[in-house]
Structure 1
Amino acid sequence: MYYWRTDLHLDSTERAFLKQHHINKVYCRYFDVVMSDDGTEPKPNATIAFTDTLPAGIELIPTVYITEDCMQKPHKDLAEKLVKRIMQMNETNHIGNVHEIQIDCDYTSKSRATYYQFLETIKSQLSTIHYQLSTTIRLHQLSMPVPPVDYGVLMVYNTGDPRKWQERNPILDYRDVYPYLNKLAQYQLPLAAAYPVYQWIRNIQNVRIEHTIEAAELLKVKKTLEKERPCLSKAVITYHLETDNINRYKTETYEEIYHH
């Protein structure tokens, strides 16, 4: 599962869920990297606090979200600073059992070359300590050359245009996934898949709109993707760990998501 809050703190429902579904990895957002207000350089933002620990036996994967504008040109030492900061956070908070770092970025054809070079630098940093490197892959990125990482996580959410919410669910709609299926089979990188279990609530012209995925739609998309690329069922991630999300679906739905 992804853990995307600014404080690592689990309640009894969340702990029970991890155990019940044999979750063995938690991708934990450590901080974001955003451009400074004056637009000169990237800086960390919204760093997580660790007031709690994950249950024993669960591997924690530090995950960093980088905004795309940070990758429109190279920034000296950014990769080194990022790795160093993660290591310091692990040390300060006594976090062991770490073997991987994940970077999340919605790179475009414009920022791709800079981003891939940035990943190369991180990868060479990590090779000395035998860490893996992974990155998120959005559906529109499947048509680009593959990034220099050990594997990618196909993000099967936020697939729609939020402005067209009356006709489509912007979190996930089969019709928005369908056009990318032909790219999936031949994509030359090992992939895991991440599915949405969250709700998106927003106000549009003072009306409260709630976007929630129907279990049937989610499972239909999952089945279709796995038909195109059967190995996608080997590593399944959900976004994100929170009691409200756990309670949103029946246990059977989660079992279908996690166990093919």
Structure 2
Amino acid sequence: MSTQEKNEIEKTSTPLLYTRYFDIDKIDNKFQPLGVITHNETFSLKNKIAPTVFITNRSFINITDHEITFLANQTHQLIIKKSKDYKLNTNEEIQIDCDWTAGTRDDYFKFLNELKTISGKNITSTLRLHQVKDKDIMGIPPVSAVFLMCYSTSSPLEYSTKNSILDVTTLKNYLSKLEEYPIKEIHVALPIYSWGIVTNHLGKHKLINGLSKKDLQNPNFRLISENEIEITKEGYYFGNLLNRGFKIKVEEISNEQINEVVKFLDGKINDFPIIYYQLDEPFLKGRNFNLY
């Protein structure tokens, strides 16, 4: 962690860092942890850490009760092991991130209850926009608090003139009846990240994380709009070999967009804590988090 990243955490009213420990997927009919957290010896942080685990929706398709118990136990044990190995100062919470569907909701909810019983921790769950809008179909997770993900309003891999990270009009549509959601402790996750969407001659897309409009200033780029360019000379750009004719569209979130979302949510729910995704020095520049 950089000095600026540490300073931003220490300045917050509730200095808590939600930290992705690992992902879980079901591959060849076996549960597997992926991208397990590693530790840099220079890392030090006095603030509390909330372990966060992402689980793919397909992990809960055709899952048995025995497998749910097994998965909950293994998830808990791996969190304990990594926290102990790296001497991480964790709080009394485990956050589970899953884009559950109507078909997997019951088993996902069983998993949350099982994990709570096994760990003795406070289990929280992420909540996507469509899971709010379609709450009667998607169900209500058995948790004390949900973390509303106010981003990913559309897919970046489909052509659209909208900002796929956050389109405020789309968000307002999804959350038009947020005040009716039965879980009243709602934390709000807001995006401060950015990326570039690369499109090739066949119309296929890929993402380059961390790009901003200033990265589009290159003599080998032809400006199409304020946030999109066409490459005029083949070369290595941002660690990728990109051909002439490829296009890059940058998507980033302004302070004005964040403030508009906060103002909208103020009229829907009361006293919501805010989480910013994600903690990375380039994304912190030009932000005044006390404004939101």
State the TM-score, normalized to the length of structure 2. 0.77
Judge conservation of contact 2:9–2:17 (CA < 8 Å) in 1.
no
Judge conservation of contact 1:123–1:149 (CA < 8 Å) in 2.
no
Partner of 1:28: 19
The alignment status of 1:250 with 2:287, answered yes or no, reads: yes
Deviation at 1:223, TM superposition (A): 1.0
Change (3 A) 1:12 1:186: same
Partner of 1:214: 254
* 3-state SS of paired residue (1:80): helix
Deviation at 1:41, TM superposition (A): 1.7
Q: Distance in 1 between matches of 2:158 and 2:269?
A: 29
Judge conservation of contact 2:156–2:197 (CA < 8 Å) in 1.
no
Deviation at 1:218, TM superposition (A): 1.7
* 3-state SS of paired residue (2:100): coil
Q: Distance in 2 between matches of 1:139 and 1:54?
A: 34
Partner of 2:267: 227
Q: Distance in 2 between matches of 1:195 and 1:26?
A: 14
Aligned pairs for 1:61-100 within 5 A: 61-74=50-63, 76=67, 77-100=70-93
Aligned residues: 237
Judge conservation of contact 2:83–2:90 (CA < 8 Å) in 1.
no
Partner of 2:30: 41
* 3-state SS of paired residue (2:175): helix
- When Rg is computed on C-alpha atoms for both structures, the one with the higher figure is 2
The partner residue of 1:132 within 108, 118, 122 is 122
Q: Distance in 1 between matches of 2:13 and 2:264?
A: 24
Deviation at 1:54, TM superposition (A): 4.5
Q: Distance in 2 between matches of 1:104 and 1:141?
A: 13
The 4+ residue runs of structure 1 with deviation greater than 6 A are none
Moved more, 136-145 or 88-97: 88-97
The partner residue of 1:160 within 146, 154, 159 is 154
- Which is helix-richer, 1 or 2? 1
Judge conservation of contact 2:126–2:147 (CA < 8 Å) in 1.
yes
Partner of 1:193: 188
The partner residue of 1:18 within 9, 15, 34 is 9
- In structure 1, give the amino acid aligned to 2:77: K
Judge conservation of contact 2:178–2:268 (CA < 8 Å) in 1.
yes
Q: Per chain length, whose mean CA-contact separation is higher, i.e. which structure has more relative contact order (CA < 8 Å, sep 6+)?
A: 1
Judge conservation of contact 2:102–2:139 (CA < 8 Å) in 1.
no
Gaps of 5+ in 2: 201-245
State the TM-score, normalized to the length of structure 1. 0.86
Q: Distance in 2 between matches of 1:27 and 1:115?
A: 21
Change (3 A) 1:165 1:174: farther
CA RMSD for the aligned pairs? 1.7
Deviation at 1:173, TM superposition (A): 0.8
Gaps of 5+ in 1: 1-9
Judge conservation of contact 1:172–1:218 (CA < 8 Å) in 2.
no
- In structure 1, give the amino acid aligned to 2:267: K
* 3-state SS of paired residue (1:49): coil
Q: Distance in 2 between matches of 1:109 and 1:159?
A: 19
* 3-state SS of paired residue (2:282): helix
Q: Distance in 2 between matches of 1:63 and 1:97?
A: 11
- In structure 2, give the amino acid aligned to 1:126: S
Q: Distance in 2 between matches of 1:74 and 1:166?
A: 36
Q: Distance in 1 between matches of 2:128 and 2:90?
A: 28
- In structure 2, give the amino acid aligned to 1:71: F
